[in-house]
């Protein structure tokens, strides 16, 4: 059930007797802006660790323990051109406990305090807390950047999304931005976020729906004056391959490839694209895994992934640097093989079964339902579980071959230890 709490503020309640916990997820959604990404990540850190009512992590932990060990967290993510700041809490369902306490309502009240009563005064966040979380965020970003595969993936993004700097950087921002953010600047931005961001509240579990709706309607949410964020970012196809490279001290080279792939979430090619990706590099039965890694022994790992909110396909491979040219050719040959129909119907059936098993396994996760509700709202479309399964089963080899024709290699980034010399 969907309830509009204000213009641009929506509550979705999903009733289910499947789980013994109730989960609440609040998403603050806004168009991605390069100047705001790191601010939003730092806000997530602050909101997760403090508020006026719970000024430190000890007080916060005590409050959660009082709700029979509720789990609370905050984070950021990206969907196409939209940046999400998310708060979530999972609380035991009081119906399964020997207590009369209204834990679900307590969890709602907890989130309301976190959102509307941050640890701030006189127009700025608490300085010691702000400085501590700024330091923590920088350390977290720096630690991820030490991962060479992550580094190569980010360098590929810079090339693949050269036309839009906001699409180049990760959803949790850039360490170099942090020093310029002040406690007062961030507080001002937070007030803007509260006033302008699209807010989606998802409640999933077994609870009294009218009571929950009444509690949220009592909150003074204001109408949003800005339009809904767009669901998709459309990558620009350059129709040519450009590769950049870098040498560092490492033993295993990284080859990352970016393809234009104009297929978007639940459009007419979407289900064929899911099966195609499994066939190309998305599963242990894929051509990249079987032919590049296993048969030719040219890669330590080789896989592909889809981004159907930005219209791109990516391949990542860990290789010996001296095999660069050979790997590039054999990866291209796997795509050509699919385009020409060089695969069996039996393999396609196995890949479909794998997708279906993964899908059905995901239905055991409460969070899956909540996240799907958020995506449904972002895209303004929904598909039943039965229809999803039907669509996957209906994918034909001709559709797989046709969707493979849409793939165009645009960019590559090669990180090596110096073994390879370009021709």
Q: Do residue 398 and residue 289 come from a single domain?
A: yes
Grouping H, G, I as helix, E, B as strand and the rest as coil, residue 400 is: helix
Structural domain contains residue 230 = no
∠ CA 194-199-204, nearest 5°, is 135
Written as six digits, the tokens of 27 are 């998403």
Structural domain contains residue 233 = no
Give me the pLDDT at residue 422, please.
40
Q: Do residue 71 and residue 18 come from a single domain?
A: yes
Structural domain contains residue 24 = yes
Q: Do residue 331 and residue 197 come from a single domain?
A: no
- 417, 248 contact by CB (below 8 A): yes
Give me the pLDDT at residue 149, please.
92
Torsion sign, CA atoms 290, 296, 299, 305? negative
Distance CA 77, CA 83 (A): 6
Global pTM exceeds 0.75: yes
The residue segments making up the domain with residue 369 are: 242-416
Written as six digits, the tokens of 119 are 């640890």
Q: Do residue 143 and residue 52 come from a single domain?
A: yes
- 112, 24 contact by CB (below 8 A): no
Structural domain contains residue 227 = no
Q: Do residue 183 and residue 257 come from a single domain?
A: no
Distance CA 354, CA 34 (A): 38
Confidence category of residue 294, pLDDT binned at 50, 70, 90:
confident
Structural domain contains residue 394 = yes
- 206, 19 contact by CB (below 8 A): yes
CB atoms within 10 A of CB 46: 26
Query: Which of left, alpha, beta for 124 (phi over 0: left; psi -120 to 50: alpha)?
Result: beta
Q: Do residue 259 and residue 161 come from a single domain?
A: no
- 407, 244 contact by CB (below 8 A): no
Mean pLDDT of 395-415: 98
Percent of the chain residues past pLDDT 70, beyond the cut: 99
Distance CA 68, CA 90 (A): 10
Mean pLDDT of 123-136: 97
Q: Do residue 110 and residue 202 come from a single domain?
A: yes
Hey, which residues does 147 pair with through a beta bridge? none
Q: Count structural domains, the chain.
A: 2
Q: Do residue 207 and residue 246 come from a single domain?
A: no
Confidence category of residue 417, pLDDT binned at 50, 70, 90:
confident
10 Å CB burial of residue 177 (0-12, 13-18, 19+) is buried
CATH number (domain holding residue 278): 3.30.830.10
Q: Do residue 113 and residue 259 come from a single domain?
A: no
Q: Do residue 212 and residue 287 come from a single domain?
A: no
Distance CA 113, CA 92 (A): 20
Distance CA 146, CA 80 (A): 25
- 202, 370 contact by CB (below 8 A): yes
**Residue 30 CB-half CA count within 13 A:** 25
Q: Do residue 277 and residue 366 come from a single domain?
A: yes
Structural domain contains residue 286 = yes
Identify the domain boundary among 217, 234, 259: 217
Q: Do residue 191 and residue 279 come from a single domain?
A: no
Structural domain contains residue 235 = no
Give me the pLDDT at residue 356, please.
97
Give me the pLDDT at residue 278, please.
98
Grouping H, G, I as helix, E, B as strand and the rest as coil, residue 198 is: strand
Q: Which residues lie closer than 8 Å to 166 by C-beta, 6 or more apart? A: 32, 33, 34, 37
Structural domain contains residue 223 = no
Least confident range of 22-36, 67-81, 212-226, 409-423: 409-423
Confidence category of residue 421, pLDDT binned at 50, 70, 90:
very low
Distance CA 267, CA 282 (A): 20
Give me the pLDDT at residue 420, please.
44
Grouping H, G, I as helix, E, B as strand and the rest as coil, residue 372 is: helix
């Amino acid at each position: 059930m969907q309830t509009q709490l204000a213009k641009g503020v929506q509550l979705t309640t999903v009733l289910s007797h499947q789980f013994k916990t109730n989960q609440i997820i609040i998403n603050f959604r806004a168009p991605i802006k390069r100047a705001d990404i790191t601010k939003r990540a730092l806000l997530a850190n602050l909101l997760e660790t403090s508020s006026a009512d719970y000024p430190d992590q000890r007080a916060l932990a005590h409050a959660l323990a009082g709700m029979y060990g509720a789990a609370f967290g905050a984070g950021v993510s990206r969907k196409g051109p939209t940046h999400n700041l998310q708060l979530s809490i999972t609380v035991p369902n009081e119906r399964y406990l020997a207590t009369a306490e209204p834990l679900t309502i307590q969890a709602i009240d907890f989130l309301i305090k976190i959102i509307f009563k941050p640890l701030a005064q006189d127009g700025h966040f608490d300085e010691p807390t702000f400085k501590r979380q700024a330091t923590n965020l920088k350390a977290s970003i720096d630690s991820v950047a030490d991962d060479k595969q992550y580094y190569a993936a980010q360098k590929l993004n810079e090339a693949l999304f050269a036309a839009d700097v906001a699409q180049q950087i990760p959803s949790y921002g850039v360490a170099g931005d942090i020093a310029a953010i002040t406690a007062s600047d961030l507080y001002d931005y937070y007030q803007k976020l509260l006033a302008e961001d699209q807010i989606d509240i998802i409640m999933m579990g077994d609870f009294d729906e009218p009571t929950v709706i009444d509690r949220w309607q009592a909150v003074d949410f204001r109408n949003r004056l800005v339009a809904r964020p767009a669901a998709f970012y459309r990558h620009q196809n350059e129709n040519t391959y450009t590769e950049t490279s870098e040498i560092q001290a490492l033993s295993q080279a990284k080859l990352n490839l970016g393809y234009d792939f104009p297929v978007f979430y639940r459009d007419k090619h979407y289900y064929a694209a899911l099966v195609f990706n499994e066939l190309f590099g998305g599963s242990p039965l894929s051509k990249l895994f079987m032919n590049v890694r296993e048969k030719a022994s040219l890669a330590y790992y080789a896989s592909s992934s889809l981004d159907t909110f930005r219209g791109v396909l990516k391949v990542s491979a860990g290789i010996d640097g001296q095999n660069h040219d050979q790997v590039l050719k054999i990866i291209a040959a796997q795509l050509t093989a699919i385009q020409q129909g060089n695969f069996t119907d039996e393999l396609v059936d196995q890949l479909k079964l794998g997708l279906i098993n993964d899908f059905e396994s995901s239905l055991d996760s409460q969070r899956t339902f909540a996240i799907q509700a958020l995506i449904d709202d972002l895209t303004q479309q929904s598909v039943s579980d039965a229809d999803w399964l039907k669509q996957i089963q209906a994918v034909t080899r001709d559709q797989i071959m046709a969707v493979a024709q849409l793939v165009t290699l645009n960019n590559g980034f090669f990180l090596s230890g110096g073994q390879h010399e370009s021709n």
